[in-house]
Amino acid sequence: MKFRSLVVAGVAVSALAAAPAAMPNDQTVSAVGGQTLSINAATNVIFGTLFTPNNTFSGTGAVTAVSTSPTWTLNVKDGTGDGHMQALNGVDISGLGLSGYTTSGTLSTCSSSESELANAPTVTGSGVPVVGNAAGHTVTLSGTDQAVANATTGVLPLTALTTTISQHTNAGEQLQAGCLYKVTATYTISAS
């Protein structure tokens, strides 16, 4: 019996020694990039001074956007009207940070003000990264989508775009102290 055990042990050693160290086996891995679009209007725009006739007021905000498509457009429109700022009577204007005006517990009063400003504000998109032919634009806000930034040959990495809103008031406009004006700028991003 001892003899058989040695033979079996010898065969087992021979079998282990004959096995290859590694067997090659290729695996092909492939992926197709999906399209990602994302947008967030992160900050509101508040004009830091009070409206007075025959002046232009500007404020900045930010829109964070991303597009993995090389052809993208960032649009803006007035989400609730025709692009003109509307007077809001009876709205709490506390804490808006209006310089030169105490607003603590104050309600917007607009009985002697224009119900709508004569000029629509302009919106400028800037801070567009230099990718492909990306560019920012200035448009007059309206009820129709208009491009404030776009590209046809470059993806948009996660970017905080600066939006500058400018509002001109005419010399003859009635602007009552404490009247709050508001417009809603709605941003959308699209790709093709």
Full pLDDT tens readout for the chain, 192 residues: 333 322 333 333 333 344 455 566 667 575 555 677 788 887 778 776 778 899 999 999 888 888 888 888 999 999 888 999 998 877 776 666 555 555 556 667 888 899 999 999 999 998 887 677 778 899 999 999 999 998 888 888 888 888 999 999 999 999 988 788 888 899 988 888
CA dihedral 66, 68, 73, 77 (to 10 degrees): -40
Domain 36-191, what architecture? Sandwich (2.60)
Please measure the distance between the N-terminal and C-terminal CA atoms of the chain and give it in whole angstroms: 81
Taking the C-alpha atoms of residue 63 and residue 75, their distance in angstroms, rounded to an integer, is: 11
Taking the C-alpha atoms of residue 115 and residue 153, their distance in angstroms, rounded to an integer, is: 43
pTM for this structure? 0.74
pLDDT at 114: 92
**C-alpha dist (Å) from residue 70 to 76, 126, 144, 151, 157:** 20, 18, 24, 7, 10
Instruction: Write out the two tokens for 60.
Output: 């900045």
pLDDT at 51: 84
